[in-house]
Structure 1
Amino acid sequence: MRLRPLLAATATAALALPASTVGLVAHPASADRAGTFVPGAQLNPDHTVTLPLHRGRSGNQTVWFITTEASDSNHAQAWGTSVSAKLSNARRTAAVQKVSIDPDGTVVFPATVDFSPDRVIVPGPTGFPPAAAAPGAVGNLGYSPLIQLPDGAVVNAPHIANDTGAADKAVALDRQAMTVRYLLTDGFARGNQVVYISTEASDPGAAAIEGVTYAPNLNAAPFAGGDGTDSARASLAAITNGQTGRADPQRQGLNSALLGEGDPLNVLAWLPQQGRYSPLWDVHLTQWAPGQRPTRQTEFAHIEDLADSGRVIGFPDGPWGPSGFVVNCPIIARL
């Protein structure tokens, strides 16, 4: 079930929630204790990451962007990213925009982002689903963070700022040092505590909840339910009715996040450096079935087992599986 039918586009009294809140899981005292996957990424004590910034253009606009994954190791080294070979499966689809490169090395994007809208997010009675939501940034026609270079390689290159403004989660841009400080989100992957960044979603409701750019073209990435090496996607479970209570050790879920208790602690199926990893997460909205007591989950495979036994179901009240939208959430580090 897509989020769009559940959300009103506007609200007369909108509560502006923070774009991200601390996830209430233990963080390392020093970034040196973290296994960072994106070269050049520096974890900061304030739940942000400092990333290298690149300058490009789209039409007459200057575009500031980051790079997090590339489809092969040579381009990963050139762009300072991790490798996600699965991104090559998105080549020649609407999920990528083909870029050109000026003689001076400037990347020229056919489309960029309108960062000027005001983000709206109003929690529902139990947090999720929200009563109203609207994204704070909208991709222009043809925009995707995935770019196909002239040689055919695919790079994940989300736009962070341009003449219309900056991403809601971009805390600070330093155009002299060519860095951006960006809010992190806590989650789990393969039983490991991880931090990732969210940059785009293919559904407007999801984009509003995440505080990221609405980029519908991402939904053309092959393919819903595809988690293997023949797909550009990987699987993510987002709990919709988890345990609430800011200090509860079992706390988790979109409901808890929208109530202002912390990050939703989504469960990602793979880690970078695994062949089935992709930053394009095929979201499985997951709710605990009636009568079940929510517990914190940290492994996607265990949630699959819970679905097989009927303890969790799809939201709302349907079979468990892909919910019809994608979020771009590159994993930055394992903690």
Structure 2
Amino acid sequence: MKTLSSLSLTTLFTATMLSSLTFAQEADTDDDVRPSPPSIGADVPVTYFGPPPSTVEPELIGPVQLLRSGELDEDAGTITLPLYEGRLKETGESIWYIITDTTDADVAKALGVNHAAKLAFADNIRAVRIAETSFDGTLEFHWGSVDFSPERIVTPGNAENPDDNPFPPAAFQPGAVGDELYSPLVKIITAGDHIYNAPMVAYNVSAEQLDYCDTTPDYSLVHDQVVNICPEEGTVTMRLTPGFSFAKPVLYLTTDANNELPAALEGAIFAPGLRDVAVGSDDSLFSAVERIFGFTNGPTNHVDGQINPQRQGFFSALSGEGAPLNVLGGIPTVATDYSPLWDLNLGEWTQDAVDRGYVSRLTEEFQILGLVERGLITGPGGSLYGSTGNIINCPIVHRFL
């Protein structure tokens, strides 16, 4: 288990991400990113309103399920996806996985997964594994394994008084650890060398051992974001994380991270192979990543325990108030540069911004960059704002507006 003494403060501050449910299970359910109905303030009931424009054109305002291969449950904040069983070519050990994204646009449409052309630029050293289909259609992975047995541990920075600077955490340990060659990205050489985002959810266990169709799974066997797993039905239900993209509330799935701290905070797999994906270049030529924006010291809930509609950030999340409500860059239907590999940019409101009462919930990339330009948000501890070097694999699932 890592502790504060085993990593520098700079590393801790610049390597973080948090799942919506990692510390939010006791949070007030009224803290919801979903938009209110259009009937509020109108003289007619909601039934009088027509269908949202997004039902005509997905780029227009309204809800859009982007990862269409699964069944979304907005109230529970989960999605039930197809569960696939592959095997490690060398040993024959079972690999249980999901598919969320691909560089193949036609297959993306056919399967209802996200098209992510930028993943082609991730094909570098360990970042993309190799796989091939066998005669019966089973996917055989050439390398990469995951140990799901570790217990995930996250201890807020000030355990006695979590309201007093709970971030960075005092101790942490990811609940799933990939070997040095593990990455969720797979190039299938029998499918046109297209790259697929195929995160693992269990490894080297039988279907009988994964029979958790209606019960809480054994997290020493499965991914920490699994709610139910049912090989008999070929499904797995996974928790989702709320956030924003260009002021639109969204839900996304968190599966892997390239460093131990974000993996622990996220309930994700520590995937060393993702360290071979370049960061800091965002939308430039040959970049495989998009940016995700998080905040250390955003607004927290009021002292009386009431939900603060401006709540956001890691201080709040590590205090058990809910998700950090991070801001994603481009997603499908909003931009053309989507990638499930998110390069974390971590911001800190300056003391001047706090004193002037500027600290508030931010929901849009260029709003954030404008505040950085004005010197109101910096990197942690007043450092230069930009990439922290941390990648989190977060396939987009749903857009509310």
Summarize the alignment of residues 29-68 of structure 1 with structure 2, pairs less than 5 Å apart: 34-44=63-73, 45-58=75-88, 59-68=91-100
- Residues 21-80 of structure 1, C-alpha deviation per residue, up to 9 Å, x if partnerless? 368224479xx9841111222221211111111111123321111111111212324544
**SS of corresponding position for 2:368:** helix
- Residues 193-245 of structure 1, C-alpha deviation per residue, up to 9 Å, x if partnerless? 00001000111011111110001221212333323352100011111111111
Q: Does 1:154 align with 2:195?
A: yes
Instruction: Give the aligned partner of residue 111 of structure 1.
Output: 144
Q: Is the 8 A contact 2:294 2:347 kept in 1?
A: yes
Q: Does 1:25 align with 2:66?
A: no
Q: Which runs of 5+ in 1 are unaligned?
A: 10-16
Larger radius of gyration: 2
Instruction: Give the aligned partner of residue 132 of structure 2.
Output: 100
Q: Is the 8 A contact 2:248 2:399 kept in 1?
A: yes
**SS of corresponding position for 1:232:** coil
- Residues 102-148 of structure 1, C-alpha deviation per residue, up to 9 Å, x if partnerless? 11111112112110000010011322111111100001221100101
Q: Is the 8 A contact 1:19 1:168 kept in 2?
A: no
Alpha-carbon distance between aligned partners in 2 of 1:107 and 1:171, rounded to the nearest angstrom: 24
Decide whether aligned partners of structure 1 residues 18 and 185 sit closer, same or farther in structure 2, where only a CA change above 3 A counts.
closer
Q: Is the 8 A contact 2:34 2:249 kept in 1?
A: no
**SS of corresponding position for 1:217:** helix
Instruction: Give the aligned partner of residue 313 of structure 2.
Output: 253
Summarize the alignment of residues 151-300 of structure 1 with structure 2, pairs less than 5 Å apart: 151-162=192-203, 163=205, 165-228=221-284, 230-245=286-301, 247-273=307-333, 274-293=335-354, 294-300=359-365
Decide whether aligned partners of structure 1 residues 77 and 20 sit closer, same or farther in structure 2, where only a CA change above 3 A counts.
farther
Decide whether aligned partners of structure 1 residues 229 and 76 sit closer, same or farther in structure 2, where only a CA change above 3 A counts.
farther
Which of 371, 375, 383 is 1:306 aligned to? 371
Percent identity (aligned): 37
Alpha-carbon distance between aligned partners in 2 of 1:20 and 1:41, rounded to the nearest angstrom: 25
Counterpart residue identity of residue 372, structure 2: A
RMSD of aligned alpha carbons: 2.4
Instruction: Give the aligned partner of residue 119 of structure 2.
Output: 87
Equivalenced residue count is: 325
**SS of corresponding position for 1:262:** coil
Q: Which runs of 5+ in 2 are unaligned?
A: 13-19, 37-54, 56-61, 159-164, 206-219
Decide whether aligned partners of structure 1 residues 65 and 285 sit closer, same or farther in structure 2, where only a CA change above 3 A counts.
same
Q: Is the 8 A contact 1:67 1:79 kept in 2?
A: no
**SS of corresponding position for 2:339:** coil
Decide whether aligned partners of structure 1 residues 136 and 230 sit closer, same or farther in structure 2, where only a CA change above 3 A counts.
same
Higher strand share: 1
Q: Is the 8 A contact 1:48 1:182 kept in 2?
A: yes
Decide whether aligned partners of structure 1 residues 34 and 53 sit closer, same or farther in structure 2, where only a CA change above 3 A counts.
farther
Any runs of at least 4 consecutive aligned residues in structure 1 with deviations exceeding 3 A, and if so which?
Answer: 3-9, 26-29, 77-80
Alpha-carbon distance between aligned partners in 1 of 2:344 and 2:10, rounded to the nearest angstrom: 17
